[in-house]
Amino acid sequence: MDTVMLYANEYFFDSLYTSIASITSTTPLPRDNVIRFYYDKDYMKHPRFLKNQHILEIKTAFKAFPIITILTIPWIYAEINGKTRLYDDPYERGVPYLFLSAGLFLLFTDFCIYWVHRLLHHPLQKVETYLSSVPYHLATIVIPLYKWLYLGLFAFVNVWSVMIHDGNYLSRNPVVNGSAHHSIHHTAFLYNYGQFFTFFDRIFGSFREPGDEIYDPKLRKSNATIKKVVEEVNFMEAKIDEDDKKIN
């Protein structure tokens, strides 16, 4: 029963995150702030910060919960009832495999998220939200995973997803897709679709290196930087609207 409760808990948070992600994934940087552990109120002064933005985000998230929860039930059912490649004994495949499988999980999900994100970006928000969660379940069918390791990875994914939105830019690493990289995604939309690594953005030509103004808190909050960001957001929004019109 404990395991069942844990699963329920994990999946509830999964939908919670993906719902929130649906709002944050197509909007500029300041909208992310709703799920911060550390909330920098300075962002509320940002020219692109909407009136009642927090309430708006919470409302949108709650509207998405039921649909995403229902769509996720078959996955949970399969995982709990042994229909996936999750296994019970950590020694079944040896200890080194535990490390290898964790790495494979991150790479596999990063690759899938990259493409879900890139292909479905913007027009199909709710679909994208649900599909962004699918790779984490799909991994249990593709990669044999020790069940508790899977739960650990699942928890990690949730924490990580919040962290890349926290705007604190702790790491400056060419391989890790951190909050600096992801903030570019929220202001210029068509770059840095990755979740954990920068590999796939580099391979498929959507990588954009964060500049010094993103890593330095003083520069980041300077009027010049804010002006530049707002201009880019406006420009990219107009460009995407135009592209959408051409498609429709």
Using rule CB under 5 A, residue 25 touches Zn ion: yes
Q: How far is the CB of 83 from Zn ion (least distance, A)?
A: 31
Closest distance between Zn ion and the C-beta of residue 207, in Å? Answer: 15
Closer residue to Zn ion, CB minimum distance, 137 or 185: 185
**Least distance in angstroms from the C-beta of 192 to Zn ion:** 9
Q: How far is the CB of 87 from Zn ion (least distance, A)?
A: 33
- Nearest of 30, 27, 61, 15 to residue 158 by alpha carbon: 15
Rounded Cα–Cα distance for residues 182 and 171 (Å): 12
Q: How far apart are CA 67 and CA 59, in angstroms?
A: 14
Residue 10 vs 166, nearer CB to Zn ion:
166
Phi/psi at 33 (nearest 5 deg)? -60, -15
Minimum CB separation of residue 30 from Zn ion in Å reads 12
Residue type, 183: S
The pair phi, psi for residue 216, each rounded to 5°, is -95, 115
Our finding on whether 33 is near Zn ion (CB under 5 A) is no
Do the Cβ atoms of 35 and 18 come closer than 8 Å? no
Q: Which stretch binds Zn ion (CB under 5 A): 17-25, 81-89, 91-99, 202-210?
A: 17-25
Residue 163, by phi and psi: left (phi above 0), alpha (psi -120 to 50) or beta? alpha
Q: What tokens were used for 192?
A: 């840095």
Stretches 19-27, 102-110, 168-176, 222-230: which one binds Zn ion (CB under 5 A)?
19-27
The residue among 25 and 129 lying less far from Zn ion, judged by its C-beta, is: 25
Which one of residues 15, 18, 19, 24 is an interface residue with Zn ion (CB under 5 A)? 24
Q: Which residues bind Zn ion (CB under 5 A)?
A: 24-25
